[in-house]
């Protein structure tokens, strides 16, 4: 177990922001997670639990404890995958495809760790990880007890779970079990997947081909955080009433949308931001990526406060133009 003081979080956030915490605890096993839980029970300091830092905006030093999982390992038994919470999510997708297990291809190259996938309910290209999660193994901080939590108990919704709401900072996730499919049924009707298939003269892709297409699409529109600091998609796509969508469509005939149910439509936040003129623009050292308006970037030396100011300016403009309140997907500390 790592127990470090005055620890730099620069390597633990993909925005590349320099910030420190008073104490840093990292566990690499269930037993170490129980030790960390004991420390947290006995401290008066505030604490936060982070994953790979790909969904995190640090706006200041954190005068408390930062907890991180380093539990590794992927075990494949039949169609189930038992994965350590510190495993990189894309390694799970790669392992699944290699073992002829399916359902996660559209989630290829999403940054972050396994533990965060269960907290955030990551999703992309018409797929959400909630549809793969069977159960979550976690240490209850208040008791140190090892718990196995079912998918249903997690109450998953769009980019939401009980781990983000009433269970926030109450569990240390140690492992996640994913139930994969043994029959490949590709989901191709989202984003520009089909157009990319056509460009490559592929009629019916294999799982490795679909995974590579998703990787290529993401690489083409999202910056590499090792080169440009970013947290991927910064805002959630807003879900509005059908009445609201129809009102907007009267003035914006080309507005993209995805039907959620009979009463709700999802509108891409990136489109809303781009219509407000923010794509490729900047405020000081913080900017909007020129290839994808949904992504905020650190242009070099930006502070978390600068990126937060940019976020608020974008929110204000989208509200003024469309009457829609877009919310950050990232956790702001």
* 280-303 tens-digit pLDDT: 999 999 999 999 999 999 999 999
221 has pLDDT over 90: no
How far from the centroid of its chain's Cα atoms is residue 104's Cα? 14
Give the residue from 131, 121, 122, 137 showing the smallest Cα distance to 177.
Answer: 137
Please report the pLDDT score of residue 190 as a whole number. 85
Please report the pLDDT score of residue 54 as a whole number. 87
Element (H, E) at 50: strand 47-50
Please report the pLDDT score of residue 117 as a whole number. 96
Whether 329 sits among the annotated catalytic residues: the reply is: yes
Whether 211 sits among the annotated catalytic residues: the reply is: no
Region 57-81 average pLDDT: 97
Please report the pLDDT score of residue 114 as a whole number. 97
Whether 218 sits among the annotated catalytic residues: the reply is: no
Distance CA 78, CA 95 (A): 13
pTM of the model: 0.88
22 has pLDDT over 90: yes
Please report the pLDDT score of residue 70 as a whole number. 97
Please report the pLDDT score of residue 12 as a whole number. 94
Give the residue from 64, 63, 57 showing the smallest Cα distance to 305.
Answer: 57
Of 69, 85, 117, 233, which one is the catalytic site residue? 233
Element (H, E) at 240: strand 239-241
Of 26, 108, 159, 211, which one is the catalytic site residue? 159
Region 301-325 average pLDDT: 97
Angle at 203 between CA 199 and CA 208, to 5 degrees: 85
> What percentage of the chain has pLDDT greater than the value 70?
100
Give the residue from 216, 213, 219, 211 showing the smallest Cα distance to 96.
Answer: 211
């Amino acid at each position: 177990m790592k127990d470090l003081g005055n620890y730099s979080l620069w390597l633990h956030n993909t925005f590349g922001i320099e910030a420190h915490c008073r104490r840093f605890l990292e566990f690499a096993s269930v037993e170490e997670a129980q030790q960390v839980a004991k420390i947290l029970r006995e401290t008066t300091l505030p604490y936060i639990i982070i994953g790979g830092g790909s969904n995190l905006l640090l706006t200041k030093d954190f005068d408390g404890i930062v907890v991180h999982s380093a539990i590794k390992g992927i075990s494949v038994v039949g169609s189930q995958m038992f994965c350590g919470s510190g495993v990189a999510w894309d390694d799970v997708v790669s392992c699944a495809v290699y073992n002829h297990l399916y359902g996660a291809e559209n989630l290829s190259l999403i940054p972050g760790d396994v533990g965060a996938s269960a907290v955030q309910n990551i999703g992309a290209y018409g797929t959400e990880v909630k549809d793969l999660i069977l159960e979550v193994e976690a240490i209850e901080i208040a008791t140190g007890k090892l718990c196995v939590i079912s998918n249903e108990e997690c109450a998953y919704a769009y980019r939401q779970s009980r781990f983000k709401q009433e269970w926030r900072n109450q569990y240390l996730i140690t492992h996640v079990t994913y139930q994969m499919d043994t029959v490949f049924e590709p989901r191709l009707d989202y984003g520009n997947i089909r157009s990319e298939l056509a460009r490559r003269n592929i009629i019916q892709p294999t799982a490795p081909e679909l995974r590579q297409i998703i990787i290529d699409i993401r690489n083409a529109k999202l910056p590499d955080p090792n080169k440009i600091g970013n947290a991927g998609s910064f805002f959630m796509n807003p879900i509005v009433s059908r009445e609201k969508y129809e009102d907007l469509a009267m003035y914006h005939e080309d507005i993209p949308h995805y039907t959620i149910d009979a009463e709700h439509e999802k509108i891409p936040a990136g489109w809303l931001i781009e219509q407000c003129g923010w794509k490729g623009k900047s405020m000081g050292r913080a900017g909007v990526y020129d290839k994808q308006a949904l992504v905020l970037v650190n242009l070099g030396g930006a502070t978390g406060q600068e990126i937060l100011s940019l976020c608020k300016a974008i929110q204000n403009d989208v509200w003024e133009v469309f009457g829609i309140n877009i919310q950050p997907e990232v956790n702001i500390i």
